[in-house]
Amino acid sequence: MRTRRSLTVKIPAGVEDGMRIRLAQQGEVGPGGGTAGDLYVEIHERPHDVYSRKGDDLHCRVTVPMTAAALGTRLTIKTLDSEETVDVKAGTQPASTLRLRARGVPHLRGTGRGDLYVHLDVRTPTKLDPDQEKMLRDFAKTRGEEVAELSKQGGFFSRMRDAFNGHA
């Protein structure tokens, strides 16, 4: 006779998408009234709106204004357990990454946990009022940065070739 029933399943910390949990003797009854088989529960993780997971490490993106990246700032980051204050050093470049050790997902079998990586997106303002534009132009002039320079590409051998060909 088939019946439906609800089970409470304990999901251990650190389980990943696609893993299966075996519940011994919780499946259907064997033929001729034999012992019940095992029930397998397959895990499907839902995507999170802030964090992405790679193994036991978590990744998130934080947008930082250009001025805060240049001058340095403090960020408050929500972790799985609490909130952490993180220092962004003065002069931080776009696409920089901060690592918070042991703030990721707990290891499935064993102790410890993964890390939390905070990827910084430095946002440059798109609209400046005339006063802001003048201040930024004056700042660029004091640093000698009025004109963009083309960065040389290539490795050691291409620089050697250019030197021999007189393109130093």
- 6-34 residue pLDDT tens: 999 999 999 999 999 999 988 888 888 88
- Return the pLDDT at 29: 83
The residues that bridge with 85 in the sheet, in sequence order, are 76
Q: What per-residue confidence (pLDDT) applies to 34?
A: 86
pLDDT at 116: 98
The residue assigned the tokens 């910390």 is 13
Say whether both 80 and 112 belong to one domain. Answer: yes
For residue 148, being part of any structural domain is answered with no
For residue 147, give the H/E element and its range: none
Q: Is 76 helix (H, G, I), strand (E, B) or coil?
A: strand
Q: Which segments of the chain have a pLDDT < 50? A: none
Please give the pLDDT value at position 85: 96
The rounded radius of gyration (Å) of the Cα atoms in the chain is 27
Domain that residue 33 falls in:
1-46
The confidence score (pLDDT) of residue 130 equals 95
* 139 within domain boundaries: no
How confident is the model at residue 145, as a pLDDT? 87
pLDDT value, residue 168: 57
The answer on 120 and 65 residing in a single domain is yes
